[in-house]
C-alpha cells in the first residue's frame, strides 16, 4: 500500500534519476515548476510541470534566473506598469540590467532619470531629482547624478577631476524642496551651475533600455523549454537533440546556434485581431532554419516584443508539422490561459 505511487523519474534539466511520489510531495524529489513563473501572473488553466523538474533544479532556477528576470528586465518592469505586480512595489525593481529613462530627443530633458509613483492604480513616471553635467561622451550629451550622489562628500572633487571647469551643470527637480537640496549640495561643493527652474511633472514617454544579459536570456530559454516540454512531453525533450539548450539554461554554456534572439516588435502584426492583446504569448513548432529542421519557440510577455528561442540544432529524432500556442490573458477576470487555434496561430 502506498509504495506503488513511488517511481523513479529523470529530471528534465539535470537528467538525474530521482524519486517521484505523486501522492506525497514531501517524499518526492520533484517539485511543481510553472511553465511561466508566477511572478508574471496567476492564471486559470495555468501550465505547470508537476513531475519533470527536480527540487534541486527548481530552486537553482528561482535563485539564479527567475528572480533577476522578474525584478530586473524590461518584462519585469512591465509587471508594475500593467498591474500584475502592484505599482507601489516599484522600489523592488533593481534597474541594473534594464534602466528606465525619459526618451524624447527634442526635449531638453532627453534621457533624464525618472522615478515612479502610483496614481489611480496606474504607474506613472516622474522626473527624478538630479544634477546633470554636460558630457559629450555620454548618451544624450549629459551625465546625470541622483540627489544621493550629489550629496556625497566627494562629489565636488569627482566633478573637478572628471570635467572641464567650464562644463555646464544643470539642476532638474520637480518640487521646490528637491531643488533647494540640490542647490545647497552644489554650493557646499563649490560648484557653479546653469540656472534651472523647477520642472513640472512631465508626460513624455519613458523608454526602457536594456543591457544585454545572459541571465535574462537563460530565463527566457527556460520558459520556452518548459513550454515545449508541457506540449511535447518530457521523454521527447530529454532527447540529445535538446542537450545544447539544456546546458545553456543550466550553466549558461552558449550553443553553436543562436538560442535566444530578441526581436524589437510584437509577435502579432498591427492588422491582427490580437494586435491590442494584453498578455503573454508562447508558441512552439518545428521549422527550417539554415537548412536544418529545428524546434523553435516564441516567448512574448505583455505582447510588447518577442524572443525567438531556438531549442535545437538539426533535429535527429522525430519532428512533426504541428504548431502549438497559448495566450495568457491578463485583462480578463479571472486571468486565463487558453490555447491558440490554428487560424489565430497563423496571424503570428
Ligand atoms: Zn534536476
Q: How many domains does the chain contain in total?
A: 2
**The pLDDT value given to residue 38:** 95
- Look up the domain containing 279 and give its range: 7-56+212-345
Residue 186: pLDDT band with limits 50, 70, 90:
very high
300: β partners: 281
Within-domain flag for 242: yes
Q: Which of 161, 180, 208 is the last residue of a domain?
A: 208
C-alpha 236 – ligand 1 centre gap (Å) = 16
* 153 domain-assigned: yes
Confidence of residue 197 (pLDDT cuts 50, 70, 90): low
| Rg of the chain (C-alpha set) | 24
Residue 123 lies in a domain: yes
Within a domain: 81: no
Question: What sign results for the dihedral spanned by CA atoms 116, 119, 124, 130?
Answer: negative
Span 222-252, pLDDT tens digits? 999 999 999 999 999 999 999 999 999 999 9
Q: Are residues 186 and 293 in the same domain?
A: no
Task: State in Å: Cα 285 to ligand 1 middle.
Answer: 25
Looking at the fold, whether 130 and 155 belong to one and the same domain comes out as: yes
Residues 248, 331, single domain; the answer is: yes
192, 208, 224 — which closes off a domain?
A: 208
Three-state SS at 279: strand
pLDDT at 232: 96
Q: Is 128 exposed, middle or buried (0-12, 13-18, 19+ CB in 10 A)?
A: buried
Residue 66 placed within a domain:
no
Ligand 1 centroid vs 170 CA: distance in angstroms?
54
262 CA to centre of ligand 1 in angstroms: 27
Asked whether residue 273 carries a pLDDT value surpassing 90, the answer given is no
Looking at residue 253, what is its pLDDT? Answer: 96
Amino acid at each position: 500500500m502506498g509504495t506503488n505511487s513511488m517511481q523513479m523519474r529523470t529530471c528534465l534539466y539535470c537528467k538525474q534519476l530521482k524519486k517521484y511520489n505523486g501522492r506525497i510531495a514531501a517524499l518526492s524529489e520533484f517539485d511543481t515548476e510553472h511553465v511561466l513563473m508566477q511572478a508574471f501572473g496567476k492564471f486559470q488553466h495555468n501550465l505547470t510541470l508537476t513531475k519533470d523538474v527536480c527540487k534541486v533544479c527548481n530552486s537553482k532556477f528561482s535563485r539564479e534566473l527567475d528572480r533577476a528576470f522578474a525584478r530586473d528586465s524590461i518584462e519585469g518592469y512591465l509587471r508594475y506598469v500593467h498591474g500584475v505586480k502592484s505599482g507601489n512595489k516599484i522600489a523592488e525593481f533593481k534597474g541594473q540590467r534594464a534602466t528606465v529613462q525619459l526618451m524624447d530627443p527634442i526635449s531638453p530633458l532627453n534621457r533624464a532619470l525618472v522615478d515612479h509613483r502610483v496614481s489611480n492604480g496606474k504607474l506613472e513616471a516622474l522626473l527624478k531629482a538630479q544634477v546633470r553635467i554636460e558630457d559629450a561622451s555620454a548618451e544624450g550629451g549629459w551625465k546625470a547624478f541622483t540627489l544621493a550622489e550629489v550629496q556625497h562628500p566627494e562629489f565636488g572633487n569627482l566633478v573637478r577631476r572628471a570635467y572641464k571647469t567650464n562644463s555646464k551643470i544643470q539642476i532638474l527637480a520637480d518640487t521646490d524642496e528637491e531643488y533647494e537640496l540640490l542647490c545647497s549640495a552644489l554650493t557646499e561643493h563649490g560648484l557653479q551651475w546653469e540656472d534651472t527652474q523647477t520642472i513640472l511633472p512631465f508626460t513624455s514617454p519613458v523608454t526602457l533600455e536594456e543591457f544585454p544579459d545572459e541571465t535574462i536570456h537563460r530565463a527566457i530559454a527556460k520558459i520556452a523549454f518548459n513550454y515545449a516540454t508541457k506540449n511535447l512531453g518530457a521523454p521527447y525533450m530529454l532527447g540529445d537533440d535538446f542537450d545544447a539548450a539544456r546546458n545553456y539554461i543550466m550553466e549558461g554554456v552558449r550553443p553553436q546556434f543562436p538560442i535566444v534572439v530578441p526581436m524589437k516588435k510584437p509577435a502579432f502584426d498591427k492588422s491582427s485581431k490580437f494586435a491590442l492583446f494584453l498578455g503573454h504569448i508562447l508558441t512552439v513548432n518545428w521549422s527550417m532554419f539554415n537548412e536544418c529542421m529545428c524546434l523553435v519557440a516564441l516567448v512574448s510577455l505583455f505582447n510588447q516584443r518577442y524572443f525567438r528561442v531556438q531549442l535545437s540544432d538539426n533535429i535527429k529524432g522525430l519532428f512533426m508539422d504541428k504548431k502549438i500556442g497559448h495566450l495568457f490573458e491578463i485583462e480578463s477576470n479571472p486571468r486565463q490561459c487558453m490555447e491558440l487555434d490554428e487560424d489565430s496561430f497563423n496571424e503570428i
